[in-house]
Amino acid sequence: MNELKIETIIRIYPTINDLDDAAKELMQKAQAVLPEAYAPYSHFNVGAALRLNNGKVVTGTNQENASFPLGLCAERIAVAAAASLYPNADLTMIAITIKNFNKPTTTPVSPCGTCRQVLLEKENQAQKPIRILLKSEGPEIYEVARVSDLLPLSFAGDIIA
């Protein structure tokens, strides 16, 4: 028997002020749109802001639906908007923040599996890493260097062809 060891390094910044200016600005934009989330069922708001290689920033918030499978995550809304508005631009960084109105959540939360796969597709398409910043209601911010670190053994288009 063999083993495959998979490790992910997460950098932890004590506060938003410990981030570089570009990351700080992006996280502030994600926090600014957080109140625009539509989450009447889960009461779990998510705000996302992404930066493209052309310098543009695109935001998104989660949008729930009474038919739960029809809701959309903040990350996928931002990615889809960016792809529509700037089809030739690559995603370089995404900041994601949450507010849980049911109970305080002080540990950052990573994107769901579907969002990880969507973000990985963009990372693979650009052939460049997408930096991920994660924040909750607590002061700490987690940084993951690339989407592929959050989705090891991922499904990729080359498997199909």
Catalytic residues: 75
Q: How far is CA 92 from the centre of its chain?
A: 11
The three-class DSSP label of residue 132 is: strand
60, burial (CB in 10 Å: exposed 0-12, middle 13-18, buried 19+): buried
Regarding beta strands 91-100 and 131-135, do their DSSP bridges make them parallel or antiparallel, or are they unpaired? parallel
Percent of residues in the chain assigned helix, strand, coil, to nearest 5: 35, 25, 40
Contact in structure between 64 and 71 (CB atoms under 8 Å): yes
Instruction: With beta carbons less than 8 A apart as the criterion, state whether 73 and 46 touch.
Output: yes
Pair of tokens at residue 125: 């398409």
